Chains A and B, each alone.
Chain A
Amino acid sequence: MKEIRVCAGGACIASGEAAVRDALLKALKEKGLEDKFKVVETGCMGMCSRGPFMVVDDVVYNKLNPKAVNEIVEEHLIHGNIVEKYLMELPSKERVKEAFKEHPFFSKQVKIVTRNLGQIDPGSIDDYLERGGYKALEKALKEMKPQDVIEEIKNSGLRGRGGAGFPIGLKWEFAAKQKDEAKYVVCNADEGDPGAFMDRAVLEGDPHSVIEGLAIAAYAIGAKKGFIYVRAEYPLAIERLTIAISQARNRGFLGKNILGTDFSFNIEIRIGAGAFVCGEETALMASVMGYRGQPWPKPPFPVEKGLWGHPTVINNVETLANIAWIINNGYKEFRKYGTEKSPGTKVFALAGKVKNTGLVEVPLGITLRELIFDIGGGIPNGKKLKAVQTGGPSGGVVPADKIDVPIDYESLTALGTIMGSGGVIVLDEDDCMVDVAKYFLEFTVHESCGKCTPCREGTRTMYEILDRITRGEGTMEDIDNLEELAQVIKESSLCGLGQTAPNPVLTTLRYFREEYEIHVKEKRCSAKKCRDLISYVIDPNACTGCTACKIACPTNAIEGELKKAHFIHQDNCIKCGSCMDVCRFNAIFKVSPPITDEETEKAVEFHLTSKNS
């Protein structure tokens, strides 16, 4: 039986994977091909912007819909002809079966963490075993002492992928040295950065790799019990993990006397409930124990006193998914990738204003430029790159002229941002940097747990200042105050949330101060994003009077007869942008600062001259 793999990653589900799968199953049945082909739904294949995907005979079909599926069944499955119109564009036709290796999106990638994604059925432990799954656990238990495992990981130089980049071998060693009967390992699957989906993809696409990593961690430090703390927003990940854990138990990879050794280990799933701070390790532990997820001051560190007062190692999903690979292939192999201080790979979730969005795993040390232009294919719609946001609410922006920076922990920190967990949001000229800073501060205000004052009150004040600036009511003093406040919050907050919360503001101020000043001095938003500082205007020369905008306008702010140029009444306009979205003639443009109805003519004139020049 031949396998047809269909990507059932998060983005493909959002772009109609279920319909594609159903059409495929139906067509196979109708054509009597059910015993010849087996349909496997896999985890994320990576190139999310082109889903849904399907792979058969190593041929990758993209951007599928039910109609396409029927064609492929007929042409490819029955007649053996490749259906070219659903292929990804490739340098050469002969290499069609190498699309996942040679397409520019994939050619620079190295798959360690994502080694099984898109390859296996995440619901099948046999698929995982076939690809060498649980061999590393077996090797560790039977051929290595816990100290050997720790040495191997230490030598590999693997650093925490949850954001902070702490050396994993050292963390494990601290915990191993603690004399305590009860110890715990915890997998941090809270993935709180609101623009990141790496961990989700791994959990959903290859749950056993995380379980195996956690079991090896437990063996190394001497823990008998582990938890996986998953955010509630990922129901499918929870389901897949639950299944995987019970499969592993049935096959003797979890439970009592694993693989006939005297190592026993069990895993329980704990579900988060939508609190960003719970990704922070001390808050996470409070939550695992069933309390409000409030952080506590360190020291003592979790490796000394963690869950219920016992030594606890907390590791990120991606960190753990590296472990089995390192044990199997050895630290030297791992160190072939990445840099001296940041060995290995990192998975990034590439999103925002970039052509190829999706999940990419690259060796550390490649540049942001390679990530965005070579892999991501650059910025769509002929727009210009403005900045790249990394590290989510704890990170910051890297301006376009600094994207030749190598991606490693130290280099990004030097620019004022952080590696973070792997969310990369590409921003173009339509994005306002004050607005981006405000967005993240709003997030922090909402997510601050309220326990310490600098974070609770400080971030709120910062948010209020930013809000004033985006409304054109800010002063130059406000900008100075922002900087001062940021320093205070950084230095005096209790946990990582507050300590890093000012980063989005600090980096935008550092690289885009002028943009702040224009908001203050000229009451103008140069990206034409901040609502209070813009107006939408119709260019009567380009407007065909098709009435689409008039119909779309929710507040009846647009006046005009069929086939005659339309007009936006500024007093009624709520600046939702619906008109611009539906206009097919490019007749609507934005101006900043905002105008009155009387100024429309002048604005149009100015628009036309600047367009022509």
Chain B
Amino acid sequence: MDKRYQALEAYMKEVNYDSSRLLNILHKAQQLFLWLPPDVLKFIAEKLNIPISRVAGVVSFYNFFSTKPVGRIQIKVCLGTACYVKGGDKVMERFLEELGLQEEGQVTEDGMFSVHAVRCVGACSMAPVVLIGENDFYGRMSPDKVPRLIKKYRQVAEKMKQEVGENA
């Protein structure tokens, strides 16, 4: 079995297959799979012994869960209030344009990038803020800083691809 499923099951066991922890479990699953494919939802429903409709209902309710593939590198542009009044929307637009994407949530053809709007990442004083991956924060962004950032992460992406290639 896929190692990711094993890790997911181990986590569910750790929390006693407690269905009130469904959100935490879905977070774990998304961490492992990057997004939530139908099979994973089915797996969770079976293990927790709850109807798949409940799992799917919860997933569709919350913005954080994605039922579509996302880029390996996710670019999150903050459109919280502070970032919005300081031009976060223009930063967003520039990312989409530079990556050739029509709208947020879409993934680039090579599967590497997707751009997402998020609401306040809690660094309002550095507005506008962009978060790349889990931990790379960029404060005081402006549209003209976008191309350079993309260049930087294209290199990261290349490395990731090579690593995958080497492992294959």
Residues of A within 8 A of B (CB): 10-11, 13-15, 48-49, 191, 193-197, 200-201, 232-235, 270-276, 287-294, 349-353, 357-358, 389, 392, 423, 425, 427, 431, 436, 439-440, 443, 449, 552, 554, 576-578, 581-582
From B3-11, B85-93, B101-109, B160-168, give the one contacting chain A.
Answer: B85-93
Q: Is the CB of A290 within 8 A of B80?
A: no
Q: Roughly how many angstroms separate A1 CA and B18 CA in the complex, as a whole number?
A: 47
Q: Is the CB of A233 within 8 A of B122?
A: yes
Q: Is the CB of A439 within 8 A of B84?
A: yes
Main secondary structure of the interface of A (DSSP, over half): mixed
CB contact list, B110-168 vs A, under 8 A: 118-127, 129, 134, 137-140, 142-144
Q: How many A-B residue pairs have CB under 8 A?
A: 151
Q: Report if A292-B80 is in contact (Cβ < 8 Å); known contacts: A195-B120, A357-B125.
A: no
Which residues of A lie under 8 Å from residue B26 when comparing CB positions? 273
Interface residue from A274, A350, A352 paired with B86 (Cβ < 8 Å): A352
Q: What is the distance, in angstroms, from B44's C-beta to the closest C-beta of chain A?
A: 11
Which residues of A lie under 8 Å from residue B62 when comparing CB positions? 272-275, 293
Residue on B nearest A436 in the bound complex, by CB:
B85
Judge if B72 is at the interface, Cβ distance under 8 Å: no
Which residues of B lie under 8 Å from residue A274 when comparing CB positions? 62-64, 119
Q: Report if A194-B23 is in contact (Cβ < 8 Å); known contacts: A351-B124, A352-B86, A582-B144.
A: no
Which residues of A lie under 8 Å from residue B134 when comparing CB positions? 235
Which one of B81, B127, B143 has the greatest number of beta carbons of chain A within 10 Å? B81
Beyond A11-B123, A275-B63, A443-B119, 8 extra complex contacts between A and B, CB < 8 Å = A14-B129, A194-B119, A195-B80, A351-B81, A352-B85, A353-B86, A576-B93, A581-B142
Q: Is the CB of B63 within 8 A of A273?
A: yes
Which residues of A lie under 8 Å from residue B49 when comparing CB positions? none
Q: Is the CB of B85 within 8 A of A353?
A: yes
Interface residue from B24, B80, B124 paired with A357 (Cβ < 8 Å): B124
Which residues of A lie under 8 Å from residue B54 when comparing CB positions? 291
Q: Is the CB of A576 within 8 A of B143?
A: yes
Which residues of A lie under 8 Å from residue B119 when comparing CB positions? 194, 233, 274, 276, 443
Q: Is the CB of B120 within 8 A of A291?
A: no
Q: Report if A273-B27 is in contact (Cβ < 8 Å); known contacts: A13-B137, A293-B62, A581-B143.
A: yes
Interface residue from B57, B94, B125 paired with A48 (Cβ < 8 Å): B125
Q: Roughly how many angstroms separate A535 CA and B125 CA in the complex, as a whole number?
A: 29
Which residues of B lie under 8 Å from residue A11 when comparing CB positions? 123-126, 139
Q: Is the CB of A271 within 8 A of B139?
A: no
Q: Roughly how many angstroms separate A309 CA and B25 CA in the complex, as a whole number?
A: 23
Q: Report if A10-B122 is in contact (Cβ < 8 Å); known contacts: A275-B62, A353-B85, A578-B94.
A: yes
